[in-house]
Amino acid sequence: MTAPLRRRGPRPLPLHLGLAGLRAMAAATSLPAMPWPNAWPNSSAAWPISKAGLVERDRILAALAAGGHAAEAFGAAVLMRLARADRAMIAGLAAYRRHPWMREMADPPAIWAEGGSRLLDFGGEGPAVLFVPSLVNRAYVLDLTPERSLMRWLPGQGFRTLLLDWGWPGEAERHFTLTDYVAGRLERALAAAPGPVVLAGYCMGGLLALAAALRRPDRVRALALLATPWDFHAGPDGPRRARTAAALVPGLETLMEPTGALPVDTIQSLFAMLDPFGIAQKFRAFARLKPESARAALFVALEDWLNDGVPLPAPVARQCLAGWYGRNEPGRLGWRIAGQVIDPAAWDGPAFAGIPERDRIVPPESAAAAATRLRHAHTHIAAGGHIGMVAGTGAEAALWRPLCAWLGSLT
């Protein structure tokens, strides 16, 4: 008997299936008529191919040049390969949706709450470290599983660990701007925390943490920015991302009008377009894993978190897409909270910048732009990607221990 479906993701499923189908269609319809060698670009600059791929291309071109039925055979082989890839992706999707793993970890007590937001206390003796996550994803990426929880690991290293869970935006939050979140909710959470804290922001949360630290240096003794963007036009793809984000804003207004927020599936679609064929590739890889393995369980845990998104209030969505990406307000020192310019150079305390070397969401060049402006920054290049750095199998070595060592060095 087939196991029942446990989940609906990955979200939005029609988009991911459509992208996989588009890839197959593009590959199939691009099989040109002979002569193949003249139809296939010979410049390596025209195709983003690895060295091994270039060798394979040259081998195929040589075989096609020999004539005979090589072209027809190659076309048939391409179609068979596409069919195998699609079957593997569907198998991976089905395996994920039926996987028995479920997150059952209970949240720790909250020492402060306002609206849908809570300040969760994971305990521990020693200096307090308050983590600020992004507004568009659930905070529990930092408390993913018992084995992959930075929040539950740090207390054992001598630190009291707090996590700001922004929660689901209700009627009031749907009118919030970034100033409301920083100068209001985050600063009140800081006021409820025990003594001056080390304020650690992850991804978008790093920008909010930086702004709060500049506004309330009396409540922040040190600042950690983890995979935090700053120069949104940096990196080889930065200008294209900026143009795309700015162009999207008018069209997204229609989607935001009914609820006053950017829907979760729309946010997921924007992330998916950073790597259009990456979803299909990772589910093909998941299909090869043993369902009972620890790697399979971690994959499901991360995928469940990714699909458990949070809508973004419309005013914040406009500020992020048009202001951050479109106009690059942080990188150009034009971003303000309650009228105050936010500049990393204005932070005069200790700072830690954790930059993932394989980050597709926040290009390393974007994060490095903030690190270079910090006066007293310890910059750590972490082996891993945007999510793997904080919750992957190598997270302890990539980020947890280096961050802990820096925390221990603070006086």
Residue 264 falls inside a structural domain: no
* Whether residues 377 and 228 fall in one domain: yes
pTM of the model: 0.88
Number of structural domains the chain divides into: 2
405 and 338, same structural domain? yes
Domain hosting 92: range is 13-98
Instruction: Indicate whether 135 belongs to any domain.
Output: yes
Answer with the one of 66, 98, 130 that is the final residue of a domain.
98
Same domain for 54 and 186, yes or no, is: no
Residue 153 placed within a domain: yes
* Token pair belonging to 72: 């027809």
Specify whether 352 is located in the same domain as 207: yes
What Å distances lie between residue 400 and 273, 388, 391, CA to CA? 29, 11, 10
> Where is the domain boundary, 47, 72, 98?
98
Q: What CATH number does residue 329 fall under?
A: 3.40.50.1820
Q: Are residues 91 and 172 in the same domain?
A: no
User: Taking every pair of C-alpha atoms in the chain, what is the biggest distance, in angstroms?
Assistant: 79
**pLDDT tens for the 411 residues of the chain, in order:** 456 667 877 988 888 888 777 776 766 665 544 444 444 444 444 444 567 767 776 776 677 666 665 666 666 777 787 788 889 999 999 999 999 999 999 999 999 999 999 999 999 999 999 999 999 999 999 999 999 999 999 999 999 999 999 999 999 999 999 999 999 999 999 999 998 999 999 999 999 999 999 999 999 999 999 999 999 999 888 888 888 888 999 999 999 999 999 999 999 999 888 888 888 899 999 999 999 999 999 999 999 999 999 999 999 999 999 999 999 999 999 999 999 999 999 999 999 999 999 999 999 999 999 999 999 999 999 999 999 999 999 999 999 999 999 999 996
Q: Kindly state whether residues 220 and 144 are assigned to the same domain.
A: yes
**Pair 33, 126 in one domain:** no
Same domain, 192 and 56: no
Place of tokens 């791929």: 53
End-to-end C-alpha distance for the chain, whole angstroms: 61
Does any domain span residue 27? yes
Please state whether 79 falls in left (phi above 0), alpha (psi between -120 and 50) or beta. Answer: alpha
pLDDT of residue 72: 67
Do 89 and 123 fall within a single domain?
no
Quote the CA–CA distance of 334 and 336 in Å, as a whole number. Answer: 6
Domain boundary among 98, 126, 161: 98
Going by C-alpha positions, the residue among 323, 290, 302, 270 that lies closest to residue 388 is 302
How many other C-beta atoms are found inside a 10 Å radius of the C-beta of residue 55?
Answer: 11
Contact 384, 394 (CB under 8 A): yes
Residues 208 and 324 in one domain: yes
* 62 within a domain of the structure (yes/no): yes
Q: Is residue 366 in a domain?
A: yes
Indicate whether 18 belongs to any domain: yes
Distance between CA atoms of residues 172 and 392, nearest Å: 35
Residues 90, 119 share a domain = no
Q: Is there a domain that residue 300 lies in?
A: no
Residue-level pLDDT at 77: 72
230 and 357 both lie in a single domain:
yes
